[in-house]
Structure 1
């Protein structure tokens, strides 16, 4: 059964914390949503909660951004992947996406439908939707 949370931009940090709590130990997250639905904004909020020190930005042109954060004295990685510009799964493989997906690190992937067959079976699917002028909904399917 899907879990849905509605939020506004001022509530993004609480929503990111809720998401991390809901994910438990699941690390690969496929984010579906239209342009402007808030995918990158949500990932930035997650990075902020994890205390990522790097500048978080959309990887639209680089495809993969790698961020580092510290968890209990151990340096960990988070991959922010944007498949929007890729044509197919073969291009995703050549770009190194598959390596990230199976790394055991967090992987937040925008536009996952470009390479769905590459994703692990335990991928968490999120749907972000614009709900009116100021509200968004986040569904964990």
Structure 2
């Protein structure tokens, strides 16, 4: 799935996203600083019904949000690996526990710890087109690896 959209189209994107990803739980967000990773995650959380303020977890490392679905309470973990130095620091911060919790996890800067993720992840690649427009690609792990290889050639 690939879309080009402006910020005012994020709600429509969120609806399409949740339909497209089915039962996936771990989402790895790729994009340069300022590409719109946190803004996109905010739209995805709001679509799920998160009522709390959604913000970048750059300093807290992990933000936890709650939503109701099917009459049950669920969590979303929003994780930012940008400031963490190594796998040991990530495990100590609780990142691994979140990833394998069975709850939804959004991870920014996942390239800092590829060994934490299995092949069941969904990659979200955000690329700026201009000030107001972004390209967002939703890829399985296999498709992401092929996409990455093609970009390196």
Q: Distance in 2 between matches of 1:84 and 1:114?
A: 7
Query: Which has more helix, going by share of residues?
Result: 2
- Structure 2 counterpart of 1:42: 40
For 1:88-103, list aligned pairs within 5 A.
Answer: 88-103=86-101
| Residue deviations 1:30-88 (CA, integer Å, cap 9, x gap) | 00000111100011101111111111111000000000100011000000000010112
Counterpart in the other structure of 2:9: 11
Structure 1 moving runs of 4+ over 2 Å: none
**Structure 2: 5+ residue runs without aligned partners?**
140-153
Any conservation in 2 of the 1:67–1:79 contact (CA below 8 Å)? yes
Give me the CA root mean square deviation.
0.8
Shift of 1:140: 1.3
Note if 1:30 corresponds to 2:28. yes
Larger RCO (alpha carbons 8 Å, 6+ apart): 1
Q: CA deviation at 1:133?
A: 2.4
**Which blocks of at least 5 consecutive residues in structure 1 are unaligned?**
none
Q: What TM-score, normalized by structure 2, do the two folds share?
A: 0.88
Distance 1:84 1:17 in 2: 28
Q: Which moved more, 1:88-97 or 1:23-32?
A: 88-97
In structure 2, C-alpha distance between the alignment counterparts of 1:82 and 1:56, rounded to whole Å: 13
Give the equivalent residue in structure 1 for 2:134. 136
How many residue pairs were aligned? 139
